[in-house]
Structures are given as structure tokens and as C-alpha cells.
Amino acid sequence: MGEFEHTLDDKGRLTIPSRFREELGERFVMTRGLDHCLFVYPMEEWSVLTGKLKALPFTRADARAFTRLFFSGATECVLDKQGRVNIPVTLRRHGRIDKECVVIGVSNRIEIWSLAEWEKYTSESGDYFNEIAEKIVDFDL
């Protein structure tokens, strides 16, 4: 849980908030996320997710496209001694991340957003928050 604003350094490194470091562990995976953000998974969660994605039917074009983009963007990461992670250029490009970014906790993953994209997303989605809540009531929350 949580939302933290951070800045990438000149080498494309991001300091992961200390609150998330223990949950991530020594090694974790970063990949393309949805809505122009990056998804970051602890290794255990990554293993669970890859098992589910492997079960998708490879005969379906949409399943092939999703898994190609999702897995080709995936990179195993390790934090340096200062708690920073290097975000590869391809992932920065996908996330439209230049300097200012937001790191948020979302259930079983962390998401990294450019500050501009996050503000745009929360502005647009915030207007529909109550509507969204009504639609997901069927999920037994």
C-alpha cells in the first residue's frame, strides 16, 4: 500500500521506498504494465503469475500478443546498497518515465508511473471512482 513520489537519477535509477523493499526481497521482476505504468513483482508472485500466463492458449492471437509484450519486457532486478533499481530504457519508454515518477503499492505488486501519467490517470479515474465501485460489487469485496 501507499503512494510515493520519487525522481530518477541521471543513470535511470529509482530509489524504491523502504516500505516496499522488504516485500520485494533481494531479487524481483519488473515488466511492462497496463495503462503506461511498470509492474514490479516479488519473485514468488512472479512465479504464480507466470504459471497462469503459461496456461493461456497460444492459438489465440491476443494471448500471444499479451504474453510476448509482457515477458519480453521483463527483467530481473536487484537493489543496490542505496535501495535503488536501474529501470531499463525500454521500460522507461513504455512508462513514459523521464524524471519524476510515482511508486504505488497495489495488492501483490508495485507499480511505477511517470508523475504526469499518474496525475492524468487519477484525475480521469477519480471522477468515476464511485461508478467503478458499483461495477465491481459483484466481485464479492
Farthest CA pair distance, the chain: 46
Query: What span, in angstroms and rounded, lies between the C-alpha atoms of 72 and 29?
Result: 12
> Contact, 74 vs 91, CB < 8 A?
no
Query: What domains sit in the chain, N to C, each tagged with a CATH number?
Result: 3-115 (3.40.1550.20)
Tell me which residue has cell 458499483.
Answer: 134
pLDDT band at residue 105 using 50, 70 and 90 as cut-offs: very high
Instruction: Tell me the per-residue pLDDT of 28-48, one tens digit each, with 9 for 90 and over.
Output: 999 999 999 999 999 999 999
Q: What is the mean pLDDT of residues 36-65?
A: 92
Q: Torsion angle of alpha carbons 23, 87, 64, 48, nearest 10°?
A: -10
This prediction has a pTM of 0.88
Q: What percent of the chain has pLDDT over 90?
A: 70
Any bridge partners for residue 86, and if so which?
Answer: 13
